[in-house]
């Protein structure tokens, strides 16, 4: 039986109204442009308060004068540290995470136009990650596979973007229930979130690199996603998943920095 990637309910999506004050670093991301109105978010979380864990991490980072990465070299420092810590696969959500808009699988513009919405922070992070030897995958519930492939090629002209594994919600791939639970024993078959995408992407990458014996375990994966439910689902299955706030698109770097840069010191 195949596990079909399904868009989860928006119960846990982070609200764009969430107020996270970040004055420690400049935000060079222009998120003012949205191709479509932001979806209305429902949720049990307060619109005004970030999760306590996020507050704690931000406070801890500030107290240690964590340098927030901003230059290309700093991003490389971060991804080198991730690699050294055993990270093998960087997985990034597409809508409202890698791009500053939500396409809702209905983007009617060109791939190049969509590529312009790729956030600066991810332009740097992906380039650094591939330079550090990390595998990169984009995991999305969008069904517009070809469009996203074109947008990625347009946004990263200096990279061999064929190396970036793309997993959309289409019929180009599938994961058996048995395989999913082999990799993620705690996965809920009825609501696997991004776990099927991760499972399939890891499988493809391991097959492609079997000469070097590449083996990707859940603990070797970092997922960045704006949907709290996807993040919690992945964390529950031992993936290092980081919540991305679309209103503060650099914010997740603090969490990554605390985990990977601080542990080096
Ligand atoms: Mg998203």
Show the domain range for 201.
51-264
Question: Does any domain span residue 92?
Answer: yes
pLDDT of residue 49: 41
pLDDT of residue 132: 97
Question: Does any domain span residue 224?
Answer: yes
Question: Does any domain span residue 4?
Answer: no
Task: Enumerate the β-bridge partners of residue 90.
Answer: 136, 222
Q: How far apart are CA 201 and CA 116, in angstroms?
A: 25
Q: Residue 147 belongs to a domain with what CATH number?
A: 3.40.50.1000
Spatial contact of 132 and 77, defined as CB atoms under 8 Å apart: no
Structure tokens at 206: 């391991």
Residues 198-205, mean pLDDT to the nearest whole number: 95
DSSP 139-201: E-S-S-HHHHHHHHHHH-TTS-GGGSEEE-SSSS--EEHHHHHHH-TT--SS--TTHHHHHHH
Cα(4) to ligand 1 centroid in Å equals 18
Question: Does any domain span residue 22?
Answer: no
Cα(92) to ligand 1 centroid in Å equals 9
Question: Does any domain span residue 2?
Answer: no
Spatial contact of 130 and 87, defined as CB atoms under 8 Å apart: no
Nearest CA to 255 among 224, 217, 216? 224
**CA torsion 123→129→133→138, rounded to 10°?**
-70
DSSP secondary structure code for residue 190 in this structure: S
Question: Does any domain span residue 124?
Answer: yes
Cα(79) to ligand 1 centroid in Å equals 22
Cα(208) to ligand 1 centroid in Å equals 27
pLDDT of residue 210: 86
Mapped onto helix, strand or coil, the DSSP state of residue 39 is: coil
pLDDT of residue 116: 97
Cα(12) to ligand 1 centroid in Å equals 11
**CA distances (Å), 76 to each of 67, 127, 154, 216, in order?**
14, 8, 22, 21
Q: How far apart are CA 251 and CA 53, in angstroms?
A: 13
Cα(125) to ligand 1 centroid in Å equals 17
pLDDT of residue 1: 58
Question: Does any domain span residue 118?
Answer: yes
Cα(230) to ligand 1 centroid in Å equals 9
Q: Per-residue pLDDT for 106 more than 60?
A: yes
pLDDT of residue 4: 59
Cα(32) to ligand 1 centroid in Å equals 17
Spatial contact of 257 and 248, defined as CB atoms under 8 Å apart: no
Number of domains the chain is built from: 1
Question: Does any domain span residue 228?
Answer: yes
Cα(36) to ligand 1 centroid in Å equals 14
Q: How far apart are CA 64 and CA 190, in angstroms?
A: 42
122-163: pLDDT as tens digits: 999 999 999 999 999 999 999 999 999 999 999 999 999 999
45-102: pLDDT as tens digits: 333 344 444 443 444 555 454 445 567 788 999 999 999 999 999 999 999 999 999 9
At residue 9 the predicted structure's pLDDT band, cuts being 50, 70 and 90, is low
pLDDT of residue 14: 44
pLDDT of residue 262: 75
Report the share of the chain in percent with pLDDT over 70: 72
| Predicted TM-score of the model (pTM) | 0.77
């Amino acid at each position: 039986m195949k596990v079909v990637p399904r868009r989860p309910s928006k119960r846990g999506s982070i609200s764009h109204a969430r107020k996270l004050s970040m004055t420690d670093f400049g935000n060079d991301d222009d998120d003012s442009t949205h191709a479509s109105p932001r979806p209305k978010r429902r949720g049990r979380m307060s619109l005004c308060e970030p999760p306590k864990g996020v507050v704690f991490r931000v406070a801890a980072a500030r107290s240690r004068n964590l340098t927030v990465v901003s230059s290309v070299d700093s991003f490389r420092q971060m991804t080198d540290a991730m690699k050294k810590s055993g990270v093998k696969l960087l997985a990034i959500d597409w809508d409202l995470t890698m791009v500053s808009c939500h396409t809702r699988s209905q983007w009617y513009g060109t791939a190049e136009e969509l590529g312009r919405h790729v956030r600066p922070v991810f332009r740097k992070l992906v380039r650094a990650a591939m330079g550090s030897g990390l595998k990169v995958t984009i995991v999305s519930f969008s069904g517009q596979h070809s469009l996203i492939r074109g947008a990625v090629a347009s946004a990263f002209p200096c990279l061999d973007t064929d190396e970036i594994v793309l997993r959309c919600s289409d019929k180009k791939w599938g994961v058996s229930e048995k395989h999913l639970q082999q990799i993620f024993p705690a996965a809920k078959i009825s609501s696997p979130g991004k776990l099927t995408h991760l499972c399939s992407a890891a499988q493809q990458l391991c097959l492609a690199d079997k000469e070097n014996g590449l083996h990707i375990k859940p603990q070797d994966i970092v997922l960045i996603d704006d949907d709290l439910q996807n993040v919690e689902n992945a964390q529950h299955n031992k993936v290092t998943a980081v919540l991305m706030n679309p209103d503060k698109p650099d914010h997740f770097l603090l969490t990554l920095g605390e985990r990977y840069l601080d542990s080096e010191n």
